[in-house]
Amino acid sequence: MMKIFLLLLSLMAGCEASTEVKVCRDGWVEFYCKYKASETYQIIDVVPPNNSEIRSTQKDQWENKGRYSLYHDTKNKRLKVAIKQLQQENFGEYECEFFQDQNSPDEVEDEVKVAAETDGCQGQFNQTVYRTAKTTITCDYPENKHRFSDKFLCRENKFTCEEILSTSSSVKSNRKYNLTETNRGFSVSISNVSSHDAGLYWCGVNEGNYRTGLRKIQLKVEDITTFTRSPTIGQNFTYWCEYPNGAPIKKFICKGEDPSICQPLVNTAQRNMNNGKFSMKEDELKRNVTITVREITADDSGTYWCGAESTDTKRSNTFFHRCLLTVVSPTTSTPSITSSTSDHPVATLSVASTQSTVAPAESGGSSVLTVTIVVVICVVVLALLLIVLFFYKGLCSQTTRNGEAKNNKEDRTYEEIQELPQKPDSGTALKTIYVTANFPTNPSSAPHHHSNINFQSSSGDVGGDTYFTVRDGDQHPTYSTVNHPSRSSADPFYSTVNKPQ
C-alpha cells in the first residue's frame, strides 16, 4: 500500500520511477532525477544502494562528493547524478528525495536502477599520440548498441564526462575536432595534438534520462623526432630510422598525416621487403631500418612514419620517426634537409645531386653527415690559412719597404733652396744669406741635416758670410756660420750643418 502511495506521489511530481540504467564495470554513468516544474526545492538527497545519503545543497553548479558528483539543474528541474569507476557495490537502486527546506521534508521520490552491462563493454584502449600531428579516436559499437541514435565522444573531467561531438548534433566539426560516421559507429580526429589533449576519453551513448560510456580511451602525448627531406624528381632516396630496445618485432613504414590511420607501405614481416617502389632493410645489431624510395615522383611527397606493430590489442602502434618529404623538380634551387624533434630543427644538409640520395634519419646515417661537415670545415680552414699567410707576407714586405724609406728620409733630409743675389754693381750686393732648416721630429735618427743652397748670379761672386739657422724638435734655433770659397755662381753650394750637442 505504501509503495503504491509513493508511486502516485512520484507521478504527481512529474518524476519517472524505477528507470533502469545499464553501465559497464569501471565505467561511468550520469542519470537524472526529475521533479515537478512548478515546485522549488532547496535540498535534494541521493540514497545509493548502501543507504549512505549524499546531499546536494548548491544550485546550478557541480558538487564533488568523492566518486559521486551532483548538479542541481534549476532550469530543467532535475538533479544530475554522475558516478565514476563503478564497482559492484555501486549497482542497485538509487532514490532521490526532494526537500523544500530542512524543516519541511517532502516525501516525493524518484528511483533509478543502475545495473551492470553484460554486453557491449570494450575495456580500456591506450593510445599514444604525437605533438603537432593528427590522431583519430575510433568508436566502434556492438550491434545491440546501434539502436542508440545519440552516440558521442566525451572527455572525463573532475566531475563528469564533457561531451565533445555527437552523431545527433548538426555540428560535426570545429577547429580542433572532426567527427565522421562509419558503419560501426564513428571516429573523431584531433588536429595539431598538444600536451593539453592528454587525458581520458569515452565513446558513449545517450538514452533519454541517462548517459554512459562504453569504451575508454587513454590518450598519452609524446614527442617524436621529425625530419624534413627535399629530394629531386628521379632520385633513389634512402634514409634510416632507429628504434629503441624492446620494440615489437614487426617494423613498418606508412604514409599519411595521421599515424593512427596511415596507409601501410612495406614491413619487415614480408618475405620480400620490397613492393617495387618502397623497400626496407633491418639491421638488428644497430637497431635501425633503412627505407629506400625508388625513382621519386611529385606524388611521393607527404608524411611518412617509421613504426612497429603492437602485439597488444589494447595498445596502439608505436612510432619512432616522422619524415616530411617534399619532392622538388630538378630546376628548383638546392633544397635543404633538416632534422628536428617536434618542430625544432637540429641539423641541415643540402641535397644537390640528381642521383641517389642518402639522408640519415638518426644515428644510422649520422656518420655520413659528420664526415661531410668535417671535410667542408677542413677545406674552409685551409683556405683561410692560405689567405692569412699571403696577406701577412705582403704586409711584411710593405712594412720593410716603408721602414727603409722612412729610415732613409730620417737619416738624410735634403732641401734645395734657391736664392738670386743682387748684382754687385747695384750697390746693395748680397753680403749675408739667412736660411732656416728644421730638423726631423726625431733628431736622434737624423744626425745630419743637409741643405742644398744654390747661389746663382749673372755675374760676380757671392761674398760675405752665410748663416744657417737650424731648429730642433723643441723649436730652439741653432746658428752655424759657413764660409765658402769663391766659385762659379752656377755651381750649387752644399753645406752640412751639425747640431751642437
pLDDT tens-digit map of 78-127: 999 999 989 888 999 999 989 887 766 565 678 889 998 877 788 899 99
- What's the whole-number mean pLDDT along residues 167-171? 91
Three-class DSSP category at 69: strand
Residue 365 maps to a domain = yes
Is the predicted pLDDT of residue 153 greater than 60, yes or no? Answer: yes
The reply to whether 249 and 355 lie within a common domain is: yes
pLDDT tens, position by position, 346-366? 332 233 333 444 444 444 444
User: How many angstroms separate the CA atoms of 231 and 24, rounded?
Assistant: 52
Of 270-274, 367-371, 450-454, which range is least confident? 450-454
Residues 241 and 366 in one domain: yes
Instruction: Rounding to the nearest 10 degrees, give the CA dihedral for residues 194, 198, 204, 209.
Output: -100
Q: Which of 370, 402, 428 is the last residue of a domain?
A: 370
CA 114 to chain centre: 49
Q: Model pTM?
A: 0.63
393 belongs to a structural domain: no
| Residues 177 and 135 placed together within one structural domain of the fold | yes
Binned at pLDDT 50, 70 and 90, residue 498 comes out as low
Tell me which of 337, 353, 370 is where a domain ends. Answer: 370
Record the cell numbers describing residue 292, joined without a space: 629506400
User: Does residue 466 surpass a pLDDT of 50?
Assistant: no
Q: Regarding predicted confidence, which is higher, 209 or 214?
A: 214
Average pLDDT of the residues of the chain: 74
Residue scoring higher pLDDT (23 or 359): 23
**Residue 445, pLDDT above cutoff 50:** no
Residues 165/158, Cβ–Cβ less than 8 Å: no
Lowest mean per-residue pLDDT among 5-14, 370-379, 476-485: 5-14
Instruction: Kindly report the length of the chain.
Output: 501
Query: Is 189 or 443 the better-scoring residue by pLDDT?
Result: 189
In sequence order, the 6+-apart residues with CB closer than 8 A to the CB of 423 are 429, 457, 458, 459, 460
Instruction: Please tell me whether residues 235 and 365 are part of one structural domain.
Output: yes
pLDDT on residue 133: 95
What does the pLDDT look like over 240-258, one tens digit per residue?
A: 899 988 888 899 999 999 9
> In this structure, are 292 and 329 located in the same domain?
yes
* The pLDDT of residue 402: 52
User: CA of 88: how far to CAs of 69, 92, 118, 496, in Å?
Assistant: 18, 9, 13, 127
Residues 355 and 436 in one domain: no
Query: How much of the chain is helix, strand and coil, in % rounded to 5?
Result: 15, 45, 40
pLDDT of residue 187: 96
Q: Is residue 190 part of a domain?
A: yes
- Are 164 and 283 contained in the same domain? no
User: Is residue 371 over pLDDT 90?
Assistant: no
Measured CA to CA, the distance from residue 353 to residue 250 in angstroms comes to 33
In this structure, the answer to whether residues 236 and 327 fall within a common structural domain is yes
Q: Would 397 be classed as within a structural domain?
A: no
Q: When comparing pLDDT for 463 and 102, which is higher?
A: 102
Pairing label, strands 466-471, 161-166: unpaired
* Residues 205/24, Cβ–Cβ less than 8 Å: no
Residue 407 lies in a domain: no
Within 10 A of 227 (CB to CB), how many other CB atoms are there? Answer: 26
Number of domains in the chain: 4
Q: Is the pLDDT of residue 216 over 90?
A: yes
Confidence at residue 120, expressed as pLDDT on a 0 to 100 scale: 75
Instruction: Name residue 221's amino acid.
Output: V
| Most distant pair of Cα atoms in the chain: their distance | 170
Question: Are residues 23 and 63 located together in one domain of the fold?
Answer: yes
In this predicted structure, the answer to whether residue 322 has a pLDDT above a threshold of 90 is yes
What confidence category does residue 407 fall into, taking pLDDT thresholds of 50, 70 and 90?
very low
| CA–CA gap between residue 118 and residue 27 (Å, rounded) | 13
| 405 falls within a domain | no
370 pLDDT band (50/70/90 cuts)? low
Residues 232 and 168 in one domain: no
Mean pLDDT of 48-52: 84
Q: Which of 357, 376, 138, 47 has its CA nearest to residue 233?
A: 357
339 and 206 both lie in a single domain = no
**Same-domain pairing of 54 and 146:** no
CATH of the domain at 199: 2.60.40.10
For residue 380, being part of any structural domain is answered with no
Segment 282-308, tens digit of pLDDT = 999 999 999 999 999 999 999 999 999
For 266, other C-beta atoms within 10 Å of its C-beta total 22
Q: State residue 276's pLDDT score.
A: 80
Q: Would you say residue 77 lies in a domain?
A: yes
Q: H helices within 340-362, ranges in order? A: none
By DSSP bridging, strand 225-229 and strand 336-341 are: antiparallel
Range of the domain at 159: 124-222
**Sign of the torsion angle spanned by Cα atoms 261, 267, 269, 271:** positive
CB 46 within 8 A of CB 30: no
Domain closes at, from 100, 116, 132: 116
